[in-house]
Amino acid sequence: GAGVSQTPSNKVTEKGKYVELRCDPISGHTALYWYRQSLGQGPEFLIYFQGTGAADDSGLPNDRFFAVRPEGSVSTLKIQRTERGDSAVYLCASSQQGMADTQYFGPGTRLTVL
């Protein structure tokens, strides 16, 4: 079956602009996660959704970052007033129920802020 998909695969923007990154989880997965991976580093947790609600947003670095999942399926990560330090690969993952079950990752969106 289809895995986790993310769009766009690449996004180049200018400092100060607003961007939206989209994640389509595996069908039927109730839990959805966002991570950020900088070059040469492991993924860093941002936020976790169980259904429509954010169960843990402790990894969001500041209030420029916001994520939604209004219908419990597709999620959008929104970044306002982008900064060059936001440049990274943004990974989305989903899992069947949450808890400590297996997280399946998408290919990521490579964000470059000029």
Partner 1 sequence: QKEVEQDPGPLSVPEGAIVSLNCTYSNSAFQYFMWYRQYSRKGPELLMYTYSSGNKEDGRFTAQVDKSSKYISLFIRDSQPSDSATYLCAINAGGTSYGKLTFGQGTILTVHP
Question: Which residues are near partner 1 by CB under 8 A?
Answer: 4, 31, 33, 35, 40-45, 48, 50, 55-56, 58-59, 91, 93, 98-100, 102-108, 110
Inter-residue contact 27 to 93 (CB < 8 Å): no
Contacts of 31 (CB under 8 A, 6+ apart): 48, 49, 50, 94, 95, 96, 97, 98, 101, 103
Give least dist CB 44 to partner 1, A: 7
Nearer to partner 1, 19 or 92 (CB): 92
Nearer to partner 1, 48 or 86 (CB): 48
Nearer to partner 1, 83 or 101 (CB): 101
Inter-residue contact 8 to 109 (CB < 8 Å): yes
Give least dist CB 62 to partner 1, A: 18
